[in-house]
């Protein structure tokens, strides 16, 4: 039954800022992986799911061409591929199906520190170095700016120093690369994070079922990341105030405590970070015996 045809292939970045997190997320969805000797392929032992480890820029193409069913890749790469296809009159044959809330970064225009910059019109007539030609073309068009785009496949940040460009347009995450090259961000072109894309080619029912299951588990993994289970004791009279203090909690469970008159136990799942201050405020409101536990799995 488990022929190659019926196995789901997910393209993930081979080595880069998304690699570890992508694998980690899939493993937390219950996928057990063994990596091939050539390091380009991971076999899913307990699910019909395999990973292809590739360059991130190749992921939208692999999913578009139906070589892979799913891909985990930065929105910056997805957007660039989609716009590049559109600008050459073609349609992207993949859909963005899920945001993963990691790998946050932005595609920005940056200027050398000594350049006077007064808004996007300062880009008019200038040379901008980038690997994101389609995204930058689209941005300039939308803002009615006429500028020359200079293509760099990498090391875009050195273009101004080489005298090849006046500005650059590149990914910024920590900002360390810009700082090291005496550049400063002047415009944000795109906010990015890791996303899941799926091929437009219809999948067999059994494959689609697995895809849905994976997406639902990913959703569960994202939900529990910040979630905590809080248990505390409280006088019944303080319940309203205490409930209001519980961060991101839906209706808490209230259990009467044996032989302690007016006291109840309150249990709640909090979907936001629980800070020490929160606990101190709860205590001040009358809560005692406070316990905060991590949540391992959640299925809505």
Alpha-carbon distance of 289 to 166, in angstroms, equals: 62
Which is closer to Zn ion, CB of 60 or CB of 252?
60
Residue 155 C-beta: closest distance to ligand PRP, Å:
8
Alpha-carbon distance of 262 to 276, in angstroms, equals: 26
- Does 80 bind Zn ion (CB under 5 A)? Our answer is no
Alpha-carbon distance of 8 to 70, in angstroms, equals: 8
Alpha-carbon distance of 292 to 93, in angstroms, equals: 46
Which is closer to ligand PRP, CB of 169 or CB of 224?
169
Which is closer to ligand PRP, CB of 29 or CB of 168?
168
Alpha-carbon distance of 103 to 76, in angstroms, equals: 11
Which is closer to ligand PRP, CB of 45 or CB of 101?
101
Residue 257 C-beta: closest distance to ligand PRP, Å:
51
Element (H, E) at 139: helix 133-142
Residue 76 C-beta: closest distance to ligand PRP, Å:
8
Partner touching 48 among ligand PRP, Zn ion, none, CB below 5 to 8 Å by kind: none
Kindly list the residues in this chain that would bind ligand PRP in the complex (CB under 6 A): 16-17, 56, 154, 170-177
Burial of 182 from C-beta contacts in 10 A (0-12 / 13-18 / 19+): middle
Which is closer to ligand PRP, CB of 56 or CB of 69?
56
Structure tokens at 79: 């957007």
Residue 170 C-beta: closest distance to Zn ion, Å:
11
Say what angle helices 133-142 and 75-87 make with each other, to 10 degrees. 70
Q: Compute how many other C-beta atoms are within 10 angstroms of the C-beta atom of residue 137.
A: 16
Residues of this chain, 34-63, that bind Zn ion according to CB under 5 A: 56-57
Instruction: For residue 40, give the nearest of 26, 59, 53 by alpha carbon.
Output: 53
Residue 231 C-beta: closest distance to Zn ion, Å:
46
Partner touching 237 among ligand PRP, Zn ion, none, CB below 5 to 8 Å by kind: none
Q: Which residue is nearest to Zn ion (CB)?
A: 56
């Amino acid at each position: 039954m488990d022929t190659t045809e019926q196995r789901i292939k997910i393209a993930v970045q081979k080595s880069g800022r998304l690699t570890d997190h992508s694998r980690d997320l899939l493993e937390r969805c219950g996928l057990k992986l063994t990596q091939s000797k050539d390091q380009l392929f991971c076999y899913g032992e307990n699910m019909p799911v395999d990973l292809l480890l590739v360059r991130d820029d190749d992921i939208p193409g692999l999913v578009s061409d139906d070589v892979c069913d799913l891909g985990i890749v930065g929105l910056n790469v997805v957007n660039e591929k989609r716009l590049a296809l559109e600008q050459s009159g073609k349609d992207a044959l993949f859909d963005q199906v899920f945001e993963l809330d990691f790998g946050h970064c932005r595609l920005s225009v940056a200027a050398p520190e000594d350049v006077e910059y007064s808004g996007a019109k300062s880009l008019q007539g200038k040379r901008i170095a980038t690997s994101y030609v389609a995204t930058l073309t689209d941005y300039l068009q939308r803002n009615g700016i006429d500028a020359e785009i200079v293509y760099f496949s990498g090391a875009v940040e050195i273009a101004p120093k080489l005298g090849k460009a006046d500005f650059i347009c590149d990914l910024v995450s920590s900002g360390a690369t810009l700082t090291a090259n005496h550049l400063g961000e002047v415009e944000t072109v795109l906010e990015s994070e890791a996303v899941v894309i799926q091929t437009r080619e219809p999948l067999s029912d059994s494959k689609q079922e697995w895809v849905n299951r994976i997406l639902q588990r990913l959703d569960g993994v994202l939900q529990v990341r910040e979630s905590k289970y809080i248990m505390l004791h409280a006088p019944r009279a303080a319940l309203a105030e205490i409930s209001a203090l519980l961060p991101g909690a839906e209706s808490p469970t209230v259990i009467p405590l044996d032989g302690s008159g007016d006291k109840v136990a309150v249990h709640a799942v909090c979907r936001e970070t629980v800070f020490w201050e929160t606990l101190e405020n709860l205590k001040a409101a009358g809560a005692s015996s406070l316990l905060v536990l991590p949540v391992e799995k959640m299925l809505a």
